[in-house]
Every structure is written in structure tokens, then in C-alpha cells.
Amino acid sequence: MNTETKQLIEEGKMLPLMEEFYTIQGEGSHTGTAAYFIRIGGCDVGCHWCDVKESWNAELHPPTLADVIVKNTKKYADTVVITGGEPLMWNMDYITEQLKSNGVKTHIETSGAYNLTGNWDWICLSPKKNKLPLKEVSLEANELKAIIFNKDDFKFAEEQASKVNDNCQLFLQPEWSNREKMIPLIVDYVMKNPKWKISLQTHKYLNIP
């Protein structure tokens, strides 16, 4: 990688783009709404049940000009979801400034393990045990999405819920491969603890990206 490319990446003017696509948001608070998804490569959180492990190695995904990504987004949607990988491994200031200056609402899905950069309309925090969220991200989160793979994850979800702001929406989402076992437990838990809502990966049921 040449010096110019490295500099542009540091400034957030280039990002390791894995994929971008227009689809329906399948999870959490904005389920069912149209959005343009930008998946950024690179992640060292290492969840064993991650369904996008091909995103982990940023070197596999070509550095792409943020201006080109913004131009592509404008063709399709007024809301963008930047996800990964772990997008906060990269500087999000430039791309969010450009998106917002073009009237695009900016959403992010993050583990919160890295410093918060960027100007966001919505922050979905999905914390992981391997690398816990930073306090600043927890406090800024609009939505907490806790993935439930086994019974121990309910305790982890409550620990993380105690760290977010009072207006943060709380979601429990069954891990896809274990959903049949965990959904009845989640339903029971939410009925007993109604501060929580249930999130399902509806895009997988709909067979869309």
C-alpha cells in the first residue's frame, strides 16, 4: 500500500469496503425500513458465531474512496447503515460529514470496542464479551442489541443495559443458529422484563441481504 493511500485511510477518505447494497433493515428498532448498507472490512472482536467472518481481514477488501461510496448511496436511499466488521476501527468523520451534507441519515452498527468517530443519527450498540464497549459509546447508544446464544447471555445483556443512557432502546436477539432453542426463553424473559423488546433477523426469514 502506497503512502498516499495510507494517508487517505487515516483521514477516513478511503475505507476497506467489503460490500454495499440497498435492502430492508432486518433487525432492531428500524426493522422493515429501507436502507443502504455499507459493510466495512476489518474486525478483531472475533465472535465465534459471527455470520460475516469474511469481513474480519481488512486486507481482503479494497480501499475505496468515501466519496464514491457516498455517491452510490445517494442513488438509492436517504438512510445509510454502516456496519462491518467493526466500522469504528476506521475514522468515520469524513464519510458521515459527506453523507449528512447530502441529506442522508447516518446509522451505525458497532460493538463499541473502539473510540466513537463520525456524526450519527442512530447508534446501534451490539456489545460482545470478547472486547467490551467503551463507556463513551455505551452512553451515546440509541439502541442496545444483545445477542442471545445461551442462557448466560441474559446476564451479560443486563450488565450492558446498566451502562447505557435512559433513553436507549433495549433489544434481545436470538443468535440465528440457535434461534429455535433460544426464542422461547427470550419470549419468557421479555414478558417478565418488559423494558426489553425482541429483535429477529427478519431479513433472513425474507431471504434478502
**What does the pLDDT look like over 146-183, one tens digit per residue?**
999 999 999 999 999 999 999 999 999 999 999 999 99
pLDDT at 124 (0 to 100): 98
Q: Which fold has domain 3-206?
A: TIM Barrel (3.20.20)
pLDDT at 31 (0 to 100): 98
pLDDT at 49 (0 to 100): 73
pLDDT at 45 (0 to 100): 86
Please identify every stretch of the chain with a pLDDT value under 50, giving residue numbers as ranges. none
pLDDT at 190 (0 to 100): 98
- Torsion angle, alpha carbons of 16, 18, 20, 24, to 10: -130
pLDDT at 111 (0 to 100): 96
- Angle between helix 66-76 and helix 93-101 axes, rounded to 10 deg: 40
pLDDT at 145 (0 to 100): 98
pLDDT at 46 (0 to 100): 80
C-alpha cell at 188: 419468557
CA quadruple 187, 138, 125, 53: dihedral sign? negative
The structural domains of the chain, with segments of one domain joined by +, span 3-206
